[in-house]
Amino acid sequence: MAVMTYRDALNEALREEMERDPDVFLMGEEVAEYDGAYKVSKGLLDDFGEQRVVDSPISELGFTGLGVGAAMAGLRPVIEFMTFNFAFLAIDQVINSAAKMHYMSDGQFRMPIVFRGPTGAALQLSAQHSQACETYYSHAPGCKVVTPGTPADAKGLLKAAIRDDDPVAFMEGELLYNFKGEVPEDDDFVIPLGVADLKREGGDVSIITHGKMINLALQAAQKLEKDGIEADVLDLRTIRPLDMDAILETVQKTNRAVYLEEGWPYAGTGAQIVSMIQEEAFDHLDAPLLRVTQADIPMPYAKNLEALAKPSVQHVVEAVNKVLYR
């Protein structure tokens, strides 16, 4: 195992897939000359040239549409958004073109394209740049949604996303780029899409989550352990397709569950998953399912208010104690 940052794991995945397949190319704002806004594409321009690492104009709708056309023509574009908050400007191309093309063309066109970039809140970026965008994209049939929370998952899932013949919204945690972890030293390390990962085992309660919230969930589990509570911590890794079998397995084992997500509560990812658990595992539940989310408000700019609006370890601990009737 090698220890590397989340950023370097993504860089390694891009490099390996570009070496493996000459049809893979990267395009986005500042991905070439500047090495990427978050340095994920560092060194790729020097190694692969300006035909395969392409700086785009500041026009998300335009360069996303170009990527969709390239995918229809048989290439494998990786479109980088400086942040998925900016991708709202291109959502017409992602949803109305990429996600629907295979169906609307009666299978005549595949759509091997990856849309990647950071999602969620960082530090004091205020309301318009702090949104967790997973739900917007998972709502649309035809678009896969991937949310890696560790360096190993970032590498393995990005490689799988690039090889996939369907459009993939690959959402990275903005605060994770410097996060370090072990990554297998294997240039063919690929994690299949739609397979969850049990990051921690316990028998008292299930904490189910995705994206950078996996790290918050593990911190909460460590704190709960001091009070004699052992938590299963399930990292979904992929929101669509969803590993429902893994979700049901952990719920049937512990009989209590908390869903943790960075997004808003109303019509959120957790609302969908909680509904599915109640439909398929109601008789296994010994307590109502609870959700821990961001506050249902635009993200404040003030540092103290921002901290109050975000999910926290204490919020998770309190939710777990409630489902355990403690």
Nearest CA among 144, 199, 198, 196 for reference residue 171: 144
Find residue 168's DSSP bridge partners: 114, 144
Torsion on CA atoms 32, 210, 151, 161, rounded to nearest 10: -50
Q: Which residues contact 172 (CB under 8 A, 6 or more apart)?
A: 6, 10, 116, 117, 118, 119, 148, 154
Cα 221–chain centre separation: 21
**Active-site annotation holds for 30:** no
**Active-site annotation holds for 129:** yes
Catalytically annotated residue among 102, 129, 139, 315:
129
DSSP 83-135: -TTGGGGGHIIIIIIIHHHHHHTTTS-----EEEEEES--SS-TGGG----HH
- Tokens coding 259: 């869903």
Catalytically annotated residue among 60, 174, 262, 306:
60
- Tokens coding 47: 């190694």
Q: Which residues are catalytic?
A: 60, 129
